[in-house]
Every structure is written in C-alpha cells, then in structure tokens.
Amino acid sequence: MINIIKSKDNDKIKYTKSLLKTKGRNKEKKFIIEGYRILTLALECEAKLDYVFINEDFEKKEEHKKFLTELENKGIKVYKTLNKIFLEMIDTENTQGILGVLEYKERDLVNNISQDDKFVLILDRIQDPGNMGTIIRTADSAGVDAVILLKGCVDIYNPKVIRSTMGSIFDMNLIHATQDEAVDFLKSKEFNIVSSYLQTDNYYHETTYDGKIALVIGNEANGINDELISKSDKLVKIPIYGKAESLNAAISAAVLMYEIKKYLV
C-alpha cells in the first residue's frame, strides 16, 4: 500500500530532506539514493533499504508499477508525494521520480580486510565528489578488495558521489580509518604500500608489484601527505608526455589500479 503525503511539513518529508546534508546523514546513519536504476541495483545487492518516495508521475510506466509491487512484497514502505515536494528531497534537476533511503554500512579494518585480500586502495583527502565516485566505481571494476578512506575525504554518501559510483557503492568494501590505523594494520598484514608521487624517478610501468599491495592516491591539489609518503614502501609516477602538469586523481587511480592488478591475478 502506497502512503500519500501532500504536505511539505510532514515529518517524513522533513526527515528525508535532512539527509541531503552531511550533518543529517552522520546523525541518522542513513543516506539517499535517487533514480530507478540505482534503486533496482540496491535491491539486487540486498542493501538495507529503509523506505522509498515516489512522485506523481512515477507510476505512469508499467515497469515502475512492477517495481513498486516488488518493494511491497519485500515489506519496504513506499510514500508518494507531489512533484514539487519531491524535488525538494533530491539533488538533481532531472528526476526519474523515485528515491530511497538506506542505512550506512559502517566497517572497520579488523573485521573487513581478510587474510585472503591482496589489493586495497587508500584515499588521502580526495575531495571532489565526481573523482571519489569514479574511483570507487573503477576500484570495483579492477577487483580491488577494499577502499580505505582517510580523514579529509569527501563524504562518500554525498549524492554526487553516489551517482558517480553507478551502483558500486553497494558492492565495494568501503572502510573509514585514520592514517596511523590504516598503515599499522596493513603493515601487520604484510601489505606493501605503493604511493603515487610525482617527485620520484620510478615509472609505474617499469616497476614490479610483489605480494599484497596497498595503493595510495592523494588529494587532487596537494597529493599525498609527507608522512604517508615517508611510510611508503614504493613510490611510482605516471609519465606525462604532453604539457599538462599532472593527471586527474581518478584517471591516475585507474591507470595504477589496472597495472597493479596484472601482478595479482
């Protein structure tokens, strides 16, 4: 049964709007996903879907009606509201008329990196939402076992990050940790820390990658912090053949992840 809400002052409307901000997401440990495709992926991945909102137009398509029936069969509450109110709960201008609210998956290092894991990604203060989402999506594609997010990274539940992951937000093992926690833990598990660093003579494609690898990608403007560089086992760089000073962080991450993966398969 679909619950109809027509007032913007409704508590459920206000609660959902609060999740558009990092403060609200952190407080409630929940976040918003928006769009039909990503909602279907959430169901396929058995994400903890709390409830769904649709607008006045969503039910016009037959496939959408079937999807709502599937939600009902799974016991997920569906609310319907006016188009203008729905727009206040999303971050996009062109909407497909459906959003979902999900619970965070909070993970730690000890319980989420196993003895069998061989390849992890460490992100140091990645701040652009598009970069973050693209890196998570690429890590998923490249078979990375976990992504460790250090302090200073953009909120991974930011709507722009969610959209850029194209559903990989549900598949990837995403772990928040301090730098010291991450380094100490990975070293204890015999990971070699490989950092992307412009001031080295080691080109990534002329280097071998032995054992377990933790690849570090740094901040878009400032790179990896000096302390983390000093704790790295290997520094590598991607050659620049043209006049650009550097590559985009997400592109650099993609190039290095796929190169390293060749040694781990």
Give residue 245's pLDDT. Answer: 85
pLDDT at res. 92: 87
**Position 246 pLDDT exceeds 90:** no
Mean residue pLDDT of the chain comes to: 95
Cross-sheet strand order for the sheet of 77-81: 2-5, 77-81, 49-54, 98-103, 30-34
Considering the four listed CATH numbers 3.30.70.330, 3.40.930.10, 3.40.1280.10, 1.10.357.10, the one that applies to the domain covering 109-264 is: 3.40.1280.10
Residues contacting residue 12 through CB under 8 Å, at least 6 positions apart: 5, 51, 79
Mean local confidence (pLDDT), 18-29: 96
35-45: average pLDDT: 93
CATH code that applies to domain 2-103 = 3.30.1330.30
User: Half-sphere exposure of residue 168, counting CA atoms within 13 Å on the CB side?
Assistant: 24
- CATH 3.30.1330.30 in the chain: give the residue spans: 2-103
Give me the mean pLDDT over the 33-46 stretch.
93
Task: Specify the domain boundaries for CATH 3.40.1280.10 within the chain.
Answer: 109-264
**pLDDT tens track for 138-189:** 999 999 999 999 999 999 999 999 999 999 999 899 999 999 999 999 999 9
The pLDDT value given to residue 50: 96
pLDDT band at residue 114, thresholds of 50, 70 and 90?
Answer: very high
3-state secondary structure of 174: strand
Report pLDDT for 40: 95
pTM: 0.93
Q: What is the share, in percent, of the chain residues with pLDDT greater than 90?
A: 94
Kindly indicate the confidence band of residue 3, based on its pLDDT and cuts at 50, 70 and 90: very high
Question: Can you give the pLDDT at residue 183?
Answer: 97
pLDDT band with cut points at 50, 70 and 90 for residue 120: very high
SS3 for 179?
helix
Q: How open is the CA angle 109-115-119, to the nearest 5 degrees?
A: 75
pLDDT above 90: residue 13: yes
The token duo for 252 is 């650099």
Give me the mean pLDDT over the 39-63 stretch.
94
Beta strands in the chain (DSSP E): 2-5, 30-34, 49-54, 77-81, 98-103, 119-123, 146-149, 174-176, 191-196, 212-217, 234-236
The predicted structure's pLDDT at residue 1: 81
